[in-house]
Amino acid sequence: MPDFSLILPHVVFHTFALLITIVSICVVAARHPVKSAVFLVVDLFLLAGLYASLDSHFVAAIQILVYAGAIVVLFLFVIMLLNLQQEQLKGIKFTVVEAGALLITLIGFLVVIFNALAGKPTGLGDGSLDVAAIEGAGGNTQVVAMKLLTDFIWPFELASMLILMAIVAAIVIAKKDKKELPAA
C-alpha cells in the first residue's frame, strides 16, 4: 500500500483547486446578483480550505472571518440596497477596458503556468519557515503574530491609518449632514 499520508495533501489540494474553479465560474455566470454573492461565499470558504491544506491556519481563519463573514455580507446589503434584479441578457460585446482586463489576466495566467513548469520558486520562503520550524516556534498563528509585530511594525501601524481613512470615507459617502436633508 502506498504511503497515503504523502499523497493525501496533493489530492486535497487539487480537489479544492478544481472546486474553486467551478464555483468561480458560477459566480461570474450566475444571472442574479444575490446568487453570485452566495456562490462567492462558497468560493471564499473553499479558498480557506485551500489555505488550510497548505498549513496557513491563520490566513484560512481570517479568510472566512473577514471575506466570507463580513465583506460578502456588505455585498449582499449593497445588492439589496440598490434593489438589483435579474440581469437582462445582453449580447456579448467587448469594450476596450474589458478586452484589456482579459488580456492581462491571460498573461498573468501564462506567467504562473510558465513559472510552475520551469520549476521556479513562486513564493518568498527562505526555508526558515517550513512546517516543522513553525510548529517548534509555537504554531502558525504565533509566528504570524510575532512577524507582524516586530519585523512588520510599520505596515501594522499604517493599517490603522488605512482603517481610519476607510471609516471617514464610508461616512462621508453614506451619511448626509442633518441640515442638508429636506424638512420631513
Cα 35 to Cα 23, 42, 79, 154, 181: the distances in Å are 11, 11, 11, 40, 35
13 binds another protein (CB under 8 A): no
C-alpha cell at 72: 460578502
Q: Which stretch binds another protein (CB under 8 A): 17-25, 92-100, 121-129, 164-172?
A: 164-172
49 binds another protein (CB under 8 A): yes
Q: Which of 125, 178, 179, 181 binds another protein (CB under 8 A)?
A: 178
Q: How far is Cα of residue 40 from the mean position of the Cα atoms in its chain?
A: 10
Q: How far is Cα of residue 177 from the mean position of the Cα atoms in its chain?
A: 35
Using the 8-state DSSP alphabet, how is residue 111 labeled? Answer: H
Q: Could you tell me if 39 and 27 are in contact, meaning their C-beta atoms sit under 8 angstroms apart? A: yes
- If you write DSSP's letter for every residue of 38-59 in order, what string do you get? HHHHHHHHHHHHHHHHTT-HHH
Q: Which of 81, 104, 111, 116 binds another protein (CB under 8 A)?
A: 81
Q: How far is Cα of residue 94 from the mean position of the Cα atoms in its chain?
A: 26
The amino acid sitting at 170 is A
Q: Which stretch binds another protein (CB under 8 A): 23-31, 78-86, 110-118, 119-127?
A: 78-86
80 binds another protein (CB under 8 A): yes
Q: Which of 11, 22, 73, 133 binds another protein (CB under 8 A)?
A: 73
- Please give the residue ranges that form the binding site for another protein (CB under 8 A): 5, 8-9, 32, 34-35, 38, 41, 45, 48-49, 52-53, 57-58, 60-62, 64-66, 68-71, 73-74, 76-78, 80-83, 85, 139-142, 144-146, 148-150, 153, 156-157, 159-161, 163-164, 166-168, 170-171, 174-175, 178
